């Protein structure tokens, strides 16, 4: 019997490993940081009108969404002025571990609770609290690798509604929208590598890009959108984006040399060309007012929550293609050319991502209570989370 060459076996094993992890969602906005999943073949229509609920759990108050990696689900919540990082078995919902630490609920014009989504990188998971306490935990067991009260160390001002942007990991750096225009730490030790100042940060998560031959992150900061080099934090470009209460929460979107940014409180959104300095405004209107949830760019069109309604815009012109009021202040993602929307009232909707019209394929009430966190599709399951802390997992594998 002939044996397969070693390189063939290696290629096969590598293929199997990649196929088993390709549908994971290890961080906020997914592996490509754009709210789009590469997962295909999942069921968008369900027998009996609803997908089967696989499990449900309670995690405490918060609006962080969920991360899924290597068969585990991670999120955070607050109860009795204590933040907890939770880890569940993705298939059964069994609680594998939790790690808790003192943290005030910090309710201000809303219920409060946790904001930032855990980021999984290899065998570690990274979290930040609203008051700037960082944790690096073992992804398998929740044991503390390092912790850092970064706000206290750097003296950075705490934003009005606390730190909300999640970690972005690249190489050995763990980068946050923290301080004037970002901060990077050594992901192995939690030591600061570079920082940009102590002014109030924005609420967005860093968006990685290639900019003029440099690896960079784009940040929506206090009153601007800025790109800084990943290696040293040096600024590459910026343009002003001043909003009411300095709430720049949604993640910027890059397409070629154009950046889309949007904010709520009736501010609106716009596209800027960053190929010239200073960046040139292409359009700027009130057609897409992302208060919290980030929009998604798909085939030349933006899909997002305009204050309290779902809307589709032409990316190049800002023209409204359609509007549907079912979502409220919900959130969404895209997979296999379909919108997956969790409405503010806990209704799960699936529709074709098409500028022609919003025509739901399926819709079902999956959970009750205020829902601001984006739903997550990973490995044939959709995970939904409410502000009060109910996590629901439904089966859309089609099996």
Q: What is the pLDDT of residues 301-338, one digit of tens each?
A: 999 999 999 999 999 999 999 999 989 999 999 999 99
For the chain, how many structural domains are there in total?
1
Residue 118 in domain: yes
Concatenate the DSSP letters of all residues of 302-361 into one string. Answer: EEEEETTEEEEEETTT--EEEEETTSSS-EEEEETTEEEEE-TTSEEEEEE--SS---EE
pLDDT bin (cut points 50, 70, 90) of residue 5 is very low
Q: What is the pLDDT of residues 88-147, one digit of tens each?
A: 999 999 999 999 999 999 999 999 999 999 999 999 999 999 999 999 999 999 999 999
Residue 265 in domain: yes
Residue 330: how many other CB atoms lie within 10 Å: 27
Residue 314 in domain: yes
Residue 14 in domain: no
| Domain region containing 55 | 24-395
Taking the C-alpha atoms of residue 165 and residue 202, their distance in angstroms, rounded to an integer, is: 8
Q: What is the pLDDT of residues 208-261, one digit of tens each?
A: 999 878 999 999 999 999 999 999 999 999 999 999 889 999 999 999 999 999
Which pLDDT score is estimated for 244? Answer: 86
Radius of gyration of the chain (CA): 20
Residue 3 in domain: no
Say which CATH number the domain at 364 has.
2.130.10.10
Which pLDDT score is estimated for 399? Answer: 79
Taking the C-alpha atoms of residue 44 and residue 235, their distance in angstroms, rounded to an integer, is: 43
Is the predicted pLDDT of residue 7 greater than 70, yes or no?
Answer: no
Residue 110 in domain: yes
In the numeric block, which tokens belong to residue 294?
Answer: 């980030």
Residue 15 in domain: no
Taking the C-alpha atoms of residue 70 and residue 122, their distance in angstroms, rounded to an integer, is: 9
DSSP-derived 3-state class of residue 52: strand
- Count CA within 13 A, CB hemisphere, residue 68: 25
Residues 215, 243, 270, 203: is their CA dihedral positive or negative?
A: positive
**Greatest extent of the chain over all pairs of C-alpha atoms, in Å:** 73
Query: Left if phi > 0, otherwise alpha if psi is -120 to 50, otherwise beta: which for 142?
Result: left
Residue 16 in domain: no
Dihedral angle, C-alpha 235, 241, 245, 247, nearest 10 °: -70
């Amino acid at each position: 019997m002939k044996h397969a060459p070693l390189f063939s076996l290696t290629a096969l094993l590598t293929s199997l490993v990649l196929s088993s992890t390709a549908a994971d969602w290890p961080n906020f906005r997914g592996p490509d940081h754009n709210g789009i999943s590469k997962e295909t073949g999942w069921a968008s229509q369900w027998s009996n009108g609803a997908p089967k609920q696989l499990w449900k759990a309670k995690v405490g108050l918060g609006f962080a969404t969920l991360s899924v990696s290597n068969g585990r689900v991670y999120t955070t919540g607050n109860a009795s002025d204590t933040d907890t990082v939770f880890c569940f078995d993705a298939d059964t919902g069994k609680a594998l571990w939790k790690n808790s630490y003192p943290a005030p609920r910090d309710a201000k014009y809303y219920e409060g609770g946790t904001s930032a989504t855990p980021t999984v990188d290899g065998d570690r998971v990274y979290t930040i609290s609203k008051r700037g306490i960082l944790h690096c935990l073992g992804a398998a067991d929740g044991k503390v690798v390092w912790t850092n009260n970064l706000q206290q160390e750097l003296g950075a001002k705490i934003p009005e509604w606390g730190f909300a942007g999640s970690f972005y990991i690249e190489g050995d750096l763990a980068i946050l929208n923290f301080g004037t225009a970002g901060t990077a730490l050594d992901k192995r030790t939690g030591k600061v590598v570079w920082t940009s100042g102590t002014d109030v940060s924005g609420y967005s998560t860093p968006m990685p890009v290639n900019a003029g031959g440099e690896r960079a992150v784009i940040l929506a900061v206090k009153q601007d959108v800025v790109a800084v080099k990943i290696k040293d934090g040096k600024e590459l470009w910026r343009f002003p984006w001043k909003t009411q209460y300095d709430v720049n929460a949604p993640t910027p979107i890059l397409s070629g040399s154009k950046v889309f940014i949007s904010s709520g409180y009736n501010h609106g959104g716009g596209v800027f060309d960053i190929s010239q300095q200073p960046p040139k405004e292409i359009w700027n209107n009130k057609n897409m007012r992302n208060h919290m949830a980030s929009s998604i760019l798909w085939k030349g069109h933006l899909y997002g929550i305009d204050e309290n309604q779902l809307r589709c815009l032409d990316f190049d012109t800002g023209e409204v293609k359609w509007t549907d009021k079912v979502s409220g202040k919900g959130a969404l993602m895209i997979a296999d050319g379909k919108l997956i929307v969790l409405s503010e009232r806990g209704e799960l909707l699936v529709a074709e991502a098409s500028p022609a019209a919003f025509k739901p394929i399926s819709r079902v009430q999956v959970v009750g209570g205020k829902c601001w966190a984006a739903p997550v599709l990973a490995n044939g399951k959709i995970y939904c989370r409410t502000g009060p802390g109910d996590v629901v997992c439904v089966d859309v594998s089609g099996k």
